[in-house]
A = this chain, B = another copy of it.
Amino acid sequence: MTPDAADPTVSALTERELLAAILTRLGPGRALVGAGDDAAVLAAPGERIVASVDTLVEGPDFRLAWSSGFDLGWKSAAVNLADIAAMGASPTALLVALTLPPQTRLSFVLAIADGLRGACAALAPECAVEGGDLTVSRTLTVAVTALGTLAASAPVVRSGARAGDVLALCGDAGIAARGLAILFDRWADADGTARPTAGLDELDAAERHAVSRQLRPHPPIAAGVVAARSGATAMMDVSDGLALDASRLAAASGVTVDIDSALLGGDEFALAGGEDHALLAAFPPTAALPDGFRAIGAVVPAAEGPVRVDGVVFSGRGGWDPYRSEPAAG
Where the two chains meet, the residues of A that have a C-beta atom closer than 8 Å to any C-beta of B are 10-17, 32-33, 36-57, 59-61, 82-84, 86-87, 89, 93, 95-97, 99-100, 102, 130-139, 141, 143, 145-148, 150, 155, 157-158, 235-237, 252, 324-325, 327-330
Contact = CB atoms under 8 A, between A and B. Distances in A.
Nearest to A15: B329
A97 B55 contact: yes
A207 to B, nearest CB: 29
A145 B144 CA distance: 9
A141 B145 CA distance: 15
Given A60-B137, A87-B39, A328 B147 contact: no
A47 B43 contact: yes
A140 to B, nearest CB: 9
Contacts of A134: 328
A10 B328 CA distance: 6
Contacts of A137: 57, 59-60, 139, 141
Contacts of A16: 330
A138 B329 CA distance: 15
B50 A87 contact: no
Given A11-B328, A15-B329, A33-B155, A41 B48 contact: yes
Contacts of A236: 37-38
A87 B42 CA distance: 12
Contact of A41 (B12, B143, B155): B155
A143 B55 contact: yes
A89 B138 contact: no
A42 B137 CA distance: 31
Given A46-B47, A53-B133, A39 B327 contact: no
A16 B40 CA distance: 32
Contact of A87 (B41, B82, B325): B41
Nearest to A39: B52
7 contacts: A32-B155, A37-B236, A38-B236, A39-B52, A39-B87, A53-B96, A136-B328
Q: Which of A12, A57, A132, A137 gathers the greatest number of chain B CB atoms within 10 Å?
A: A137
A128 to B, nearest CB: 13
Given A44-B49, A54-B133, A55-B97, 13 more contacts: A13-B330, A15-B330, A36-B158, A37-B157, A37-B158, A39-B51, A39-B83, A41-B150, A43-B48, A51-B145, A61-B135, A133-B143, A138-B139
B158 A53 contact: no
Nearest to A98: B55
Nearest to A102: B327
A133 to B, nearest CB: 5
Nearest to A224: B38
B38 A42 contact: no
Q: Which of A32, A38, A40, A145 gathers the greatest number of chain B CB atoms within 10 Å?
A: A38
